[in-house]
């Protein structure tokens, strides 16, 4: 009779442990939610509160990576949070470590951003182009094209910058800065009609955009 009860006891114990594990998972902070909360706080100017949220996200990521050193979700959120905090070299270091485990497109794009903000444009371009090649429909594809445009503009390769900015605004047409940048490189190479169109698009999105307004005045004279 004891033998017949034994499997039931084992099954009950296993079920109890599963319930406890589930409760523990629910209680554990979510790194992605913390990161997104920080981003929302940044958007309304609550910078210090945002930094606290990013710092909390990083601590959760560290715990996740301690449990699983190949957790690419944790690496991605870790890198994003460091970028948001302006810790660009730390973000690069974390992303380089992550790539030892897997070729994750999110990590590649974050590396491109980190190197850009460190003014290492050669490495930034390498990783942004790698992201574009490996994730042509990735979530950050328009942003990647914008950064490539920025690099070419900074290096005074204006025709290449035009191509990259054009791809960025085609994929994401609602960002006034991107249209302004496109207008500025077209103005530089003497394409007044193209510059006029880009500046007008920037002003349609943001009527008080002083730089775009001044640019439009220049190309119309």
Indicate which CATH number applies to the domain containing 162: 1.25.40.10
| Same domain membership, residue 153 and residue 95 | no
Q: Which of 64, 99, 119 is the C-terminal boundary of a domain?
A: 119
Examine residue 137 and state whether it is found in any structural domain, yes or no.
yes
| Same domain membership, residue 113 and residue 134 | no
Examine residue 149 and state whether it is found in any structural domain, yes or no.
yes
Examine residue 68 and state whether it is found in any structural domain, yes or no.
yes
- Residues 75/65, Cβ–Cβ less than 8 Å: yes
Examine residue 143 and state whether it is found in any structural domain, yes or no.
yes
- The mean pLDDT value for 72-85 works out to 97
| Same domain membership, residue 52 and residue 84 | yes
- Domain containing 156 equals 129-221
pLDDT digits (tens, 9 = 90+) for 175-186: 999 999 999 999
| Same domain membership, residue 200 and residue 156 | yes
Q: Is the dihedral of CA 64, 139, 126, 111 positive or negative?
A: negative
Helices in the chain by DSSP H: which ranges? Answer: 2-27, 31-43, 47-67, 72-84, 88-98, 105-117, 121-134, 141-154, 158-171, 176-188, 192-205, 210-220
d(CA 82, CA 65): 16
- The mean pLDDT value for 155-170 works out to 98
pLDDT digits (tens, 9 = 90+) for 86-128: 999 999 999 999 999 999 999 999 999 999 999 999 999 999 9
| Same domain membership, residue 134 and residue 115 | no
**Token digits of residue 71:** 């957790």
Examine residue 35 and state whether it is found in any structural domain, yes or no.
yes
| Same domain membership, residue 115 and residue 148 | no
Instruction: Report whether pLDDT(26) > 60.
Output: no
Examine residue 88 and state whether it is found in any structural domain, yes or no.
yes
| Same domain membership, residue 88 and residue 51 | yes
Query: Based on the structure, what is the number of domains in the chain?
Result: 2
pLDDT for the residue numbered 1: 46
């Amino acid at each position: 009779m004891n033998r017949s009860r034994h499997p039931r006891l084992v099954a009950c114990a296993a079920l109890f442990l599963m319930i406890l594990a589930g409760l523990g998972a629910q209680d554990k902070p979510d790194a992605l939610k913390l990161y997104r909360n920080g981003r929302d706080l940044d958007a309304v100017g609550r910078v210090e509160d945002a930094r606290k949220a990013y710092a909390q996200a990083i601590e959760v990521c560290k715990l996740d990576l301690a449990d699983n050193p190949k957790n690419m979700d944790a690496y991605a959120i870790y890198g994003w949070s460091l970028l948001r905090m302006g810790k660009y070299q730390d973000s690069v270091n974390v992303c380089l470590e992550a790539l030892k485990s897997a070729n994750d497109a999110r990590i590649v794009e974050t590396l491109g951003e980190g190197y850009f903000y460190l003014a290492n444009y050669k490495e930034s371009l390498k990783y942004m182009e790698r992201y574009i090649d490996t994730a042509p429909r990735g979530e950050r594809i328009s942003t990647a094209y914008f950064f490539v445009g920025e690099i070419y503009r900074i290096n005074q390769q204006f025709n290449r910058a035009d191509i990259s900015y054009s791809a960025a605004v085609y994929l994401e047409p609602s960002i006034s800065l991107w249209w302004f940048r496109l207008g500025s490189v077209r103005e530089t190479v003497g394409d007044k009609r193209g510059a006029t169109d880009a500046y007008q698009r920037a002003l349609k999105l943001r009527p008080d955009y002083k730089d775009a307004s001044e640019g439009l005045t220049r190309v119309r004279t």
